[in-house]
Structure 1
């Protein structure tokens, strides 16, 4: 590793493999060592998988900080880490550049002198891109629900790459009393049974939402019930709240770190005689482990559920749920925020009613929106005929317009989480410009891969750099009128 003196890197050539002069390297023992160790490692990686940047500097991996050859024990440990299981986590930056941040301008001086420009050093580059594409290609050969199960198992086993997003205080916000390191979260629906919430946070999300969970386990609707619309980068699902029930999810959440930002999305059983009682049961069951709650009354796949969005029913639901929350607070518990998740298919009168009840009950926030029943503009007309809720890129404009209209109705102080079609840093930023405080995604990750949340966070940091923002909140509502006026 490079040694630092007075903020400058040590000029000893042992620490600057990239800057060694040709004369000092040619024919030297060090040169022969590098050439020998740069060959593909036998019995560990196929040559295709070994075709990553930095492979020619493998010798630096097996050398000590002073440039000396590593002891046999250290080499064995390093080689074990080179097995396929560790491949997805390995950085694509050359071993000799691992300390680039510490050395900064000291790296790449020789190339800069030759080419009259500084060498480009990717700060957070990983080799996950090609692997993501390979994994996606393989998963797309499978039934969508089978592929979903495999992805959950991959996260459980640690096979998925860690794509932690860089910390940036400009992206940090306090919403409903909770501190969110960045505005990007995982929407409910992926981790229905709280199997991998902490693994999802390691992908770069600042928060994740499990569920929807119902008091009793239920199988959901008949299969097949998930359909990919590849041309549209969309998904149609009619799952029907399939989940393991409150007890199983609670046991898993109790094992999670208490500081993790994990929300619980609660719903009602399909055959429930009292659906409002099911939501109250969700509040009481998960109160000790949830950082926030979402009352999901907008899924199109449970008959009659969206009727709870009608004003009289909604008033009764919110009164009961918030009373249960207040009882828990009265027992000495912390105050856990409660959000309401609504549909994108509301009429103007329906939006008026929801806004009135949210304000009347002093609800903590709104999530806009769930999946849509609309099918306009889809390329894949064959799959478009399937019943269920549509999510993914085609939902972006509709959900963003509803978000802006709800912001107009609720005013500037009620937190709103924008969901639907978030596939890039720009679409995430546009949700914020339309009135969102935070954003969530799920379906677009099916097409963009697990690196998507990290890319969005880095893109939002880049936006702050470009527009000289002190906080991402400065762009909120900047295109509110535009989106509220969209006829979609």
Structure 2
């Protein structure tokens, strides 16, 4: 059922309705305790003091509010990242705001951090059973008059339940948000987040997610700031506002961030650039255009410690997760 019904729904239904239907279906399976994937081999990866049962993670955006955490782990993910979460609930941008580029196996979104607020998600996360590592991805409200404070609030609340927290300053769908990737704003934000992640004796790992549209100097500056403020890993990368000439879909001109297969070559290039510039100073996680075990292994061979995927599930279905985990495990053994 996971390999046939859900992909069919996703391909034939309005993209945002299909997304909500998928979350609803996962919640039903979660409530019933039905197995979503057979037992998978473990291929453990240590990062930031955390033990990931495998290096395949779910990128933020799929489960924005932490509604289906247990079911997503049951698909085989070694890590599930919830969000992006903001201090206050917000509806996001006007619809339509999610577009399926079927001919290109890509997705464009301009969702705008639609979510029910971090308090509700933290409550769900606290009660969810985990088969792997749980991350919470935090952002700022669109109408905030102090975005640095928003991140500090988000990190502080997420730290109560998260295994790690991702600071998302790379979405193209909140006006001005990507400006926070540059100094001095990034330094202020990371300093505030570093202070907020400390819960008693515990310091929750912080990851920084950057855009693939940063130039080399921008990537270098982001890495320097991250290292300087004790950030534990860099996620490369979020969606892109660029458009290649080879896109065939009539929807390719829609405004928003592009993900999926069209992002693959840029994601590889930025991964290589980030690993070179980091020069071992911090681990790098690769996201963007990963849709097979071969592609996941290619990123790992390039130097990525973990990989994340999301858009590929729209076209291949949730069974893809187990396929990738098995392929990666065979190679790692």
- TM-score normalised according to structure 1 size: 0.65
Report deviation, 1:165.
5.0
Report deviation, 1:413.
4.6
1:68-87 to 2 correspondences below 5 Å: none
Contact 1:198–1:260 (Cα < 8 Å) also in 2: no
Encode CA deviations 1:361-399: one digit per residue, 9 max, x unaligned: 221110000000111044334201100000001111101
1:356-375 to 2 correspondences below 5 Å: 356-375=224-243
1:243-254 to 2 correspondences below 5 Å: 243-254=115-126
Encode CA deviations 1:311-354: one digit per residue, 9 max, x unaligned: 2111111111101224x2xx23x221000000000111111211
1:425-436 to 2 correspondences below 5 Å: 425-436=293-304
| Counterpart residue number, 2:223 | 355
Q: Does 1:262 align with 2:262?
A: no
- TM-score normalised according to structure 2 size: 0.95
Q: Which moved more, 1:150-159 or 1:294-303?
A: 150-159
Encode CA deviations 1:219-244: one digit per residue, 9 max, x unaligned: 00000000000011000000000000
Q: 1:164 to 1:409 in 2, by over 3 A?
A: farther
> 1:454 aligns to what SS in structure 2?
helix
| Counterpart residue number, 1:141 | 12
Whole-angstrom CA distance in 2 between matches of 1:253 and 1:140: 29
| Counterpart residue number, 1:456 | 324
Whole-angstrom CA distance in 2 between matches of 1:177 and 1:398: 30
Q: Does 1:162 align with 2:36?
A: yes
Encode CA deviations 1:103-152: one digit per residue, 9 max, x unaligned: xxxxxxxxxxxxxxxxxxxxxxxxx5xxx234322332211000000000
Whole-angstrom CA distance in 1 between matches of 2:48 and 2:147: 26
Whole-angstrom CA distance in 2 between matches of 1:351 and 1:138: 38
Report deviation, 1:270.
0.1
| Counterpart residue number, 1:197 | 69
Report deviation, 1:447.
0.5
> 1:386 aligns to what SS in structure 2?
coil
**Structure 1 gaps, min length 5:** 1-87, 89-127, 470-488
Contact 2:77–2:132 (Cα < 8 Å) also in 1: no
Whole-angstrom CA distance in 2 between matches of 1:461 and 1:137: 29
| Counterpart residue number, 1:277 | 149
Query: Between Structure 1 and Structure 2, how many residues are aligned?
Result: 330
Q: Does 1:387 align with 2:259?
A: no
Contact 2:78–2:133 (Cα < 8 Å) also in 1: yes
Report deviation, 1:434.
1.8
Q: 4+ residue runs of structure 1 moved beyond 6 angstroms?
A: none
Whole-angstrom CA distance in 2 between matches of 1:461 and 1:251: 33
Contact 1:214–1:268 (Cα < 8 Å) also in 2: yes
Report deviation, 1:462.
2.6
Whole-angstrom CA distance in 2 between matches of 1:236 and 1:161: 31
Contact 2:156–2:196 (Cα < 8 Å) also in 1: yes
Structure number having the greater strand percentage: 2
Whole-angstrom CA distance in 1 between matches of 2:302 and 2:222: 19
> Considering only aligned residues, what root-mean-square deviation do their CA atoms show, in Å?
1.6
Contact 1:165–1:458 (Cα < 8 Å) also in 2: no
| Counterpart residue number, 2:187 | 315
Q: 1:167 to 1:212 in 2, by over 3 A?
A: same
1:172-191 to 2 correspondences below 5 Å: 172-191=44-63
Whole-angstrom CA distance in 2 between matches of 1:167 and 1:377: 40
Report deviation, 1:156.
0.4
Whole-angstrom CA distance in 1 between matches of 2:319 and 2:136: 24
Whole-angstrom CA distance in 1 between matches of 2:8 and 2:264: 25
Encode CA deviations 1:276-298: one digit per residue, 9 max, x unaligned: 10010011112120000000000
**Bigger CA radius of gyration:** 1
**Structure 2 gaps, min length 5:** none
Whole-angstrom CA distance in 2 between matches of 1:382 and 1:258: 41
Corresponding residue to 1:443 among 301, 311, 328: 311
